[in-house]
Amino acid sequence: MSRAVTLTGIERTFGTDEIIVSKTDPRGIITYANDVFCRVAGYTEADLLGQPHNIIRHPDMPGCVFKLLWDTLHDGREIFAYVLNRARNGDHYWVFAHVTPSFDTAGRIVGYHSNRRVPYPDALPKVQALYAELLAEEKRHRERTVAVSASTTVLVGRLQAAGLTYGQFVFGLSAHTRFGAAA
Ligand SMILES: Cc1cc2nc3c(=O)[nH]c(=O)nc-3n(C[C@H](O)[C@H](O)[C@H](O)COP(=O)(O)O)c2cc1C
Protein backbone atom coordinates (compact mmCIF):
# COMPACT_ATOMS: atom_id res chain seq x y z
CA MET A 1 0.00 0.00 0.00
CA SER A 2 2.95 2.32 0.54
CA ARG A 3 4.63 1.41 -2.74
CA ALA A 4 6.16 4.47 -4.42
CA VAL A 5 4.40 5.30 -7.67
CA THR A 6 4.44 8.27 -9.99
CA LEU A 7 1.08 9.96 -10.40
CA THR A 8 0.39 12.78 -12.88
CA GLY A 9 -3.15 13.60 -11.73
CA ILE A 10 -4.23 13.42 -15.39
CA GLU A 11 -7.31 11.31 -16.09
CA ARG A 12 -7.57 9.12 -19.18
CA THR A 13 -10.76 7.76 -20.62
CA PHE A 14 -11.87 5.49 -23.45
CA GLY A 15 -14.83 5.06 -25.77
CA THR A 16 -18.29 4.01 -24.59
CA ASP A 17 -18.22 1.36 -27.33
CA GLU A 18 -14.84 -0.03 -26.22
CA ILE A 19 -14.07 -2.87 -23.80
CA ILE A 20 -10.80 -3.27 -21.91
CA VAL A 21 -10.16 -7.02 -21.68
CA SER A 22 -7.61 -9.07 -19.79
CA LYS A 23 -7.28 -12.67 -18.71
CA THR A 24 -5.14 -14.08 -15.93
CA ASP A 25 -3.99 -17.43 -14.63
CA PRO A 26 -5.32 -18.53 -11.20
CA ARG A 27 -2.69 -16.40 -9.42
CA GLY A 28 -3.63 -13.18 -11.24
CA ILE A 29 -0.73 -13.24 -13.70
CA ILE A 30 -1.78 -11.62 -16.98
CA THR A 31 -2.10 -14.09 -19.87
CA TYR A 32 -4.03 -11.89 -22.32
CA ALA A 33 -4.53 -8.14 -22.82
CA ASN A 34 -6.45 -6.64 -25.72
CA ASP A 35 -5.45 -3.58 -27.75
CA VAL A 36 -7.73 -1.25 -25.76
CA PHE A 37 -6.09 -2.37 -22.50
CA CYS A 38 -2.61 -1.75 -23.95
CA ARG A 39 -3.56 1.67 -25.32
CA VAL A 40 -5.32 2.99 -22.20
CA ALA A 41 -2.77 1.55 -19.73
CA GLY A 42 0.14 2.64 -21.92
CA TYR A 43 1.84 -0.75 -22.11
CA THR A 44 2.66 -3.09 -24.99
CA GLU A 45 1.25 -6.61 -24.92
CA ALA A 46 4.78 -7.91 -24.31
CA ASP A 47 5.10 -5.60 -21.27
CA LEU A 48 1.92 -7.01 -19.72
CA LEU A 49 2.03 -10.75 -20.43
CA GLY A 50 3.50 -12.61 -17.45
CA GLN A 51 3.09 -9.64 -15.10
CA PRO A 52 0.87 -9.64 -11.98
CA HIS A 53 -2.34 -7.68 -12.50
CA ASN A 54 -1.37 -5.23 -9.77
CA ILE A 55 1.00 -3.69 -12.36
CA ILE A 56 -1.82 -1.17 -12.93
CA ARG A 57 -2.86 -0.87 -9.26
CA HIS A 58 -3.57 2.72 -8.23
CA PRO A 59 -2.59 3.65 -4.64
CA ASP A 60 -5.99 5.30 -4.04
CA MET A 61 -7.81 1.97 -4.48
CA PRO A 62 -8.82 0.50 -1.10
CA GLY A 63 -7.41 -2.97 -0.53
CA CYS A 64 -10.75 -4.25 0.74
CA VAL A 65 -12.23 -3.94 -2.77
CA PHE A 66 -9.56 -6.29 -4.09
CA LYS A 67 -10.07 -8.62 -1.13
CA LEU A 68 -13.77 -8.75 -1.98
CA LEU A 69 -12.87 -9.36 -5.64
CA TRP A 70 -10.54 -12.26 -4.84
CA ASP A 71 -12.83 -13.78 -2.18
CA THR A 72 -15.71 -13.72 -4.68
CA LEU A 73 -13.63 -15.20 -7.51
CA HIS A 74 -12.17 -17.93 -5.28
CA ASP A 75 -15.74 -18.76 -4.38
CA GLY A 76 -16.41 -19.35 -8.10
CA ARG A 77 -18.63 -16.28 -8.52
CA GLU A 78 -18.54 -13.21 -10.79
CA ILE A 79 -18.13 -9.68 -9.47
CA PHE A 80 -18.79 -6.18 -10.79
CA ALA A 81 -16.67 -3.35 -9.43
CA TYR A 82 -15.63 0.21 -10.11
CA VAL A 83 -11.82 0.30 -10.22
CA LEU A 84 -9.33 3.14 -10.46
CA ASN A 85 -6.23 2.13 -12.42
CA ARG A 86 -2.85 3.69 -13.00
CA ALA A 87 -1.41 3.95 -16.50
CA ARG A 88 2.29 3.39 -17.07
CA ASN A 89 3.11 7.12 -17.07
CA GLY A 90 1.13 7.77 -13.86
CA ASP A 91 -2.12 8.95 -15.48
CA HIS A 92 -5.26 7.35 -14.04
CA TYR A 93 -8.46 5.90 -15.48
CA TRP A 94 -11.70 4.58 -13.99
CA VAL A 95 -13.35 1.38 -15.22
CA PHE A 96 -16.53 -0.55 -14.45
CA ALA A 97 -15.25 -4.12 -14.38
CA HIS A 98 -16.99 -7.46 -14.70
CA VAL A 99 -14.60 -10.17 -13.52
CA THR A 100 -15.38 -13.88 -13.85
CA PRO A 101 -13.69 -17.18 -13.08
CA SER A 102 -13.05 -19.56 -16.00
CA PHE A 103 -13.62 -23.25 -15.31
CA ASP A 104 -12.37 -26.44 -16.93
CA THR A 105 -14.73 -29.31 -17.71
CA ALA A 106 -14.17 -30.72 -14.20
CA GLY A 107 -15.36 -27.42 -12.67
CA ARG A 108 -11.91 -26.32 -11.52
CA ILE A 109 -10.93 -22.65 -11.80
CA VAL A 110 -8.28 -22.33 -14.52
CA GLY A 111 -8.07 -18.55 -14.65
CA TYR A 112 -9.98 -15.29 -14.58
CA HIS A 113 -11.36 -12.90 -17.18
CA SER A 114 -12.15 -9.21 -16.83
CA ASN A 115 -14.19 -7.02 -19.21
CA ARG A 116 -14.27 -3.31 -18.40
CA ARG A 117 -16.39 -0.52 -19.75
CA VAL A 118 -16.07 3.19 -19.18
CA PRO A 119 -17.95 3.93 -15.92
CA TYR A 120 -21.32 5.62 -15.76
CA PRO A 121 -20.46 9.23 -14.79
CA ASP A 122 -23.31 9.51 -12.27
CA ALA A 123 -21.86 6.60 -10.26
CA LEU A 124 -18.36 7.97 -9.88
CA PRO A 125 -18.87 10.66 -7.19
CA LYS A 126 -20.51 8.04 -4.94
CA VAL A 127 -17.77 5.50 -5.62
CA GLN A 128 -15.04 8.08 -5.01
CA ALA A 129 -16.60 9.13 -1.68
CA LEU A 130 -16.89 5.53 -0.51
CA TYR A 131 -13.38 4.54 -1.64
CA ALA A 132 -11.91 7.66 0.05
CA GLU A 133 -13.58 6.62 3.30
CA LEU A 134 -12.34 3.03 2.96
CA LEU A 135 -8.81 4.19 2.13
CA ALA A 136 -8.78 6.59 5.09
CA GLU A 137 -9.73 3.68 7.35
CA GLU A 138 -6.90 1.57 5.90
CA LYS A 139 -4.37 4.36 6.46
CA ARG A 140 -5.20 4.36 10.18
CA HIS A 141 -3.55 0.93 10.48
CA ARG A 142 0.08 -0.01 9.89
CA GLU A 143 -0.42 -3.72 9.30
CA ARG A 144 -1.90 -4.40 5.86
CA THR A 145 -4.11 -7.32 6.87
CA VAL A 146 -5.45 -5.33 9.84
CA ALA A 147 -6.06 -2.33 7.57
CA VAL A 148 -7.95 -4.38 4.98
CA SER A 149 -9.96 -6.12 7.67
CA ALA A 150 -10.91 -2.73 9.18
CA SER A 151 -12.00 -1.25 5.84
CA THR A 152 -13.92 -4.44 5.03
CA THR A 153 -15.83 -3.91 8.27
CA VAL A 154 -16.67 -0.35 7.16
CA LEU A 155 -17.82 -1.60 3.74
CA VAL A 156 -19.95 -4.38 5.22
CA GLY A 157 -21.42 -1.87 7.69
CA ARG A 158 -22.36 0.49 4.88
CA LEU A 159 -24.10 -2.33 3.00
CA GLN A 160 -25.92 -3.56 6.09
CA ALA A 161 -27.08 -0.05 7.00
CA ALA A 162 -28.48 0.34 3.48
CA GLY A 163 -29.95 -3.18 3.51
CA LEU A 164 -28.19 -4.02 0.26
CA THR A 165 -26.10 -6.88 -1.07
CA TYR A 166 -22.84 -5.80 -2.69
CA GLY A 167 -24.36 -6.46 -6.15
CA GLN A 168 -27.44 -4.35 -5.39
CA PHE A 169 -25.18 -1.59 -4.09
CA VAL A 170 -22.95 -1.53 -7.19
CA PHE A 171 -25.88 -1.61 -9.61
CA GLY A 172 -27.75 1.02 -7.61
CA LEU A 173 -24.95 3.55 -8.06
CA SER A 174 -26.01 4.60 -11.55
CA ALA A 175 -29.43 5.31 -13.04
CA HIS A 176 -28.19 3.35 -16.06
CA THR A 177 -27.78 0.09 -14.13
CA ARG A 178 -30.36 0.44 -11.36
CA PHE A 179 -32.84 -1.97 -12.92
CA GLY A 180 -30.33 -4.68 -13.81
CA ALA A 181 -29.39 -5.40 -10.21
CA ALA A 182 -27.37 -8.54 -9.60
CA ALA A 183 -27.73 -10.43 -6.33
C1 LIG B 1 -9.01 -10.98 -14.03
C2 LIG B 1 -8.46 -9.98 -13.04
C3 LIG B 1 -8.44 -8.64 -13.38
C4 LIG B 1 -7.93 -7.68 -12.49
N5 LIG B 1 -7.92 -6.38 -12.88
C6 LIG B 1 -7.35 -5.46 -12.07
C7 LIG B 1 -7.26 -4.10 -12.48
O8 LIG B 1 -7.76 -3.70 -13.54
N9 LIG B 1 -6.64 -3.23 -11.64
C10 LIG B 1 -6.11 -3.61 -10.44
O11 LIG B 1 -5.53 -2.77 -9.73
N12 LIG B 1 -6.20 -4.90 -10.02
C13 LIG B 1 -6.81 -5.81 -10.81
N14 LIG B 1 -6.91 -7.12 -10.38
C15 LIG B 1 -6.53 -7.44 -8.98
C16 LIG B 1 -5.02 -7.62 -8.82
O17 LIG B 1 -4.71 -8.97 -9.07
C18 LIG B 1 -4.58 -7.25 -7.37
O19 LIG B 1 -5.29 -8.03 -6.45
C20 LIG B 1 -4.82 -5.77 -7.05
O21 LIG B 1 -4.20 -4.94 -8.02
C22 LIG B 1 -4.29 -5.41 -5.66
O23 LIG B 1 -2.92 -5.60 -5.64
P24 LIG B 1 -2.12 -5.72 -4.27
O25 LIG B 1 -2.67 -6.92 -3.56
O26 LIG B 1 -0.68 -5.89 -4.66
O27 LIG B 1 -2.37 -4.48 -3.50
C28 LIG B 1 -7.42 -8.09 -11.24
C29 LIG B 1 -7.44 -9.45 -10.89
C30 LIG B 1 -7.97 -10.37 -11.77
C31 LIG B 1 -8.00 -11.84 -11.38
Residues pairing with 52 in the sheet: 29
Q: Could you tell me if the CB of 152 is within 6 A of ligand 1?
A: no
pLDDT at residue 178, as a whole number: 72
DSSP one-letter code for 19: -
pLDDT at residue 84, as a whole number: 98
pLDDT at residue 181, as a whole number: 47
Per DSSP, helices labelled H in 106-165 are 124-139, 144-162
CB 20 within 8 A of CB 37: yes
Residue nearest to atom 31 of ligand 1 (CA): 28
65 C-alpha to ligand 1 centroid (Å): 10
pLDDT at residue 177, as a whole number: 81
Q: Could you tell me if the CB of 56 is within 6 A of ligand 1?
A: yes
Residue nearest to atom 24 of ligand 1 (CA): 54
Taking only the tens of pLDDT, the chain with its 183 residues reads: 445 668 999 999 999 999 999 999 999 999 999 999 999 999 999 999 999 999 999 999 999 999 999 999 999 999 999 999 999 999 999 999 999 999 999 999 999 999 999 999 999 999 999 999 999 999 999 999 999 999 999 999 999 999 999 989 999 998 988 764 444
Q: Could you tell me if the CB of 86 is within 6 A of ligand 1?
A: no
